[in-house]
Structure 1
Amino acid sequence: MTDHRPPTGPVPPGHDRHRIGLPTSDSPVASVVVLAWRLGEPLVACLEALAAQRDAPPFEVVLVLNGASGEARAAAARVDGAVVVDLPENAGFGGGCAAGATAARGRALVLLNDDAVVAPTWLAALHARARADDRPVAVGSLLLGADGRVQEAGCRILPDAGTVPRGRGLTEDEARAADLLRSRPVDYCSAAALWVDRETFDRVGGFDELFAPAYYEDVDLQLRLRATGRPVVVEPAAVAAHLSGASTDSVPLYREFLGHRNGTLFARRWADTLAAVPAERTDGDDPLEVLPPDLGAAPATDGDDAHPAVAADYVRWLAAEVARLRSEAVGAAVQLGELDEIRTELSRLQAEHHETAQASHAMLQHIEHLEAQGPLEALRSRWHAQHDR
């Protein structure tokens, strides 16, 4: 049985010093667009996996240096055969992909994160699925985490605009038993490893700058692609190991801000579609029905949020978060003061209980002593006690 999984294991000595020769073509069927921002060695692993593709259609690699760090540039300098697009500033995910698409010559765009390592037959599997009779407008990959468990086998959208990766956390055997490891239509697939029909991508306008610099732009794009009448499908034979969020792990607050901001914009634009989504959705549900969006229904949030001025929105969001946390801290301080009063009262009641328990114990002992003497002896003892004074 052919192993379709990406290679794993230790990096051999000297591995980081050799050059990476990528395939080239005068007439590429596909253009694999890789954004390079902050990562070094993960980018090397990504490009080496592309160099090792088997049975793939003619393809080129468009490497976008998206305001890249020195580490990413050093990794890119070891590459031969790539079409390099050098952007001095980070244009965001959608902007970087748009720059790569401008330089691409393929009939399909294949978007690939720099923290993804694809299996040797990955591109061949995407190509075969894209040529199937249902003519999908986009084909997503089976994404696996570093632990080998499923990270995503397509995604579904919830009524509140939340998104859920199908099969997340399952082993491949568990995902297969749940019928998730077959090609099928889905709401959308992550753009971490996504084949897109180039002509339709251009026709719908590509990624919308509304969602710059990142998050929800791939969800929005694929709903607009699906509105043309063709499906988005997942192809589990196209496997990619993905270090999800590796580029932005060091800025979790920024990720949270972008997710909240862009999720709100997405929910406004696709309100009619989301309103028709069942309250409870499972991995087995059919893809949601896409209603053509009102592209003017998701105005920018307060202030100028065109990239890169999203920083102004971020500052406002941080200020609001600080105010919220301060308010919660004041509330917590009040609760602590009330707890201190309760503790004081509890200590007093415990001391009172202790004294009462001691008195009760002494009284019980006295009663037992009197009962042991009998009624006559008790009276006699009392008479002596009174007359012996």
Structure 2
Amino acid sequence: MRASIIIPTCDRLDLLRGCVDSIRKHTAVPYEIIVVDNGSRDGTVSWCRDEKLAVVSLAANEGFPAACNKGLRLASGDTLVLLNNDTVVSARWLDNLSAALHSSPEIGMVGPVANYASGRQQVRYPYSDLEEFQQVAAKVNVSDPGKWERVDRLVGFCLAFRRELMERIGELDERFSPGHFEDDDYCLRARRHGFGLLMCRDCLIHHEGSASFKQYGTAAMQQLVERNRRLFMEKWQVDPHDFL
């Protein structure tokens, strides 16, 4: 089994460096990293090439769903992972997610818990910096099926799913670009095709939170969220907040 880790990014090379470094330090299963760069102007593409990373360079910011889709089209793995550039992974993160994902043929998608997430995936662990986070995560990340919970939605900061799921339900819906509710949409589509979703409390990662979207400002951000919520309701005749 091999995993393809797709990381969309837009500027903030400092965060991408930390994310990639953590993957290299803490990933034991075979994997590839595919970075999809949304028009960065901070040397991201050059750094990726220097680091021998597969990189897709886009001339402008096409948004999170489009970037993910471009990465997924290049992915060769059996397990597909969408990972935000503002995350830091930890010991056994992908081993534990993979164990949950492949625990049953009907499980199609899994996700970790983190310090910053909407809904039930947000947890509180005491740590003041990334070094202390790794110490905490090393204790949390002990594979335990008793800590897997069936859920209706998983947040897109870190999603691991079977290739078979993508082949069945397709790619992310780009109508939600530049982002928000494309993950809710993907989860709903997965469930409607008979796939189960698991939240894994035996996998803790760090999430900086909305690093790419903070550039929009609070008012514009709220408008984007409300617009995409309306798009979701128009598509499904259901409020995505019902799944929180």
Equivalent residue runs for 1:1-389 within 5 Å: 29-56=2-29, 58-80=30-52, 82-133=53-104, 135-144=106-115, 151-152=116-117, 164-166=118-120, 168=122, 170-171=124-125, 182-252=147-217, 253-271=219-237, 273-274=238-239
Give me the whole-angstrom Cα distance separating, in 2, the residues matched to 1:167 and 1:201: 23
How many corresponding residue pairs?
A: 225
In structure 2, what is the Cα distance between the partners aligned to 1:41 and 1:31?
A: 22
SS in 1 for 2:22: helix
Equivalent in the alignment of 2:130: none
Higher RCO structure, 1 or 2 (CA under 8 Å, sep 6+): 2
Please give the alpha-carbon distance, in whole angstroms, between the structure 1 residues aligned to 2:239 and 2:147: 26
More moved, 251-260 vs 240-249: 251-260
Distance in structure 1 (CA, Å) of the matches to 2:123 and 2:186: 26
TM-score by length of 1: 0.54
Which letter does structure 1 place at the counterpart of 2:157?
A
- The alpha-carbon deviation at position 222 of structure 1 amounts to 0.9
For the 8 Å contact 1:142–1:236, the answer to whether it is kept is yes
How far the C-alpha of 1:77 sits from its partner, in A, is: 4.2
TM-score (norm 2): 0.83
Whole-Å separation in 2 of the counterparts to 1:53 and 1:46? 11
Off by >6 Å, runs of 4+ in structure 1: none
When residues 135 and 192 of structure 1 are mapped into structure 2, their CA distance, relative to the original with a 3 A threshold, is same
- Stretches of structure 2 that go unaligned for 5 or more consecutive residues are 127-135, 141-145
Give the counterpart letter for 1:34 in structure 2: I
Contact 1:35 1:65 in 2 (8 A): yes
Residue deviations 1:260-317, cap 9 Å, x none?
100111122222x549x5xxxxxxxxx79xxxxxxxxxxxxxxxxxxxxxxxxxxxxx
1:39 and 1:71 in contact (8 A); partners too: no
| Cα distance between partner residues in 2 of 1:83 and 1:265 | 33
Kindly name which structure, 1 or 2, has the bigger radius of gyration based on alpha carbons. 1
Query: d(CA) in 2 for partners of 1:257 and 1:134?
Result: 39
Which residue of structure 1 lines up, in the alignment, with residue 133 of structure 2? none
Separation in structure 2 between the aligned mates of residue 83 and residue 204 of structure 1, nearest angstrom: 25
Q: CA RMSD in A?
A: 2.4
Letter in 1 for 2:165: T
Residues 41 and 75, structure 1, Cα contact 8 Å, conserved in 2: no
- The residue type paired with residue 8 of structure 2 is L
Counterpart amino acid of residue 12 in structure 2: L
Give 2:225's aligned amino acid: G
Cα contact 2:181–2:228 (8 A) shared by 1: yes
Q: Extract unaligned runs of 5+ from structure 1.
A: 1-27, 145-150, 153-163, 278-286, 289-389
SS at 1:34 equivalent: strand
For residues 26-51 of structure 1, the C-alpha deviation after alignment (integer angstroms, 9 at most, x for no partner) is xx621000112111111100000111
Q: Percent identity among equivalent residues? A: 28
User: What do the CA deviations read for 1:57-86 (whole angstroms, capped 9, x no partner)?
Assistant: x21111112212224335424422x22212
Q: Distance in 2 between matches of 1:169 and 1:29?
A: 29
Distance in 2 separating the partners of 1:254 and 1:79: 35
Letter in 1 for 2:65: G
**Cα gap change, 1:134/1:202 in structure 2, threshold over 3 Å: closer, same or farther?**
closer
Find the aligned partners of 1:238 and 1:48 in 2 and give their Cα distance: 18
CA distance in 2, matches of 1:168, 1:65: 27
Distance 1:248 1:51, change over 3 A: same
Residue 214 of structure 2 aligns to a residue whose secondary structure is coil
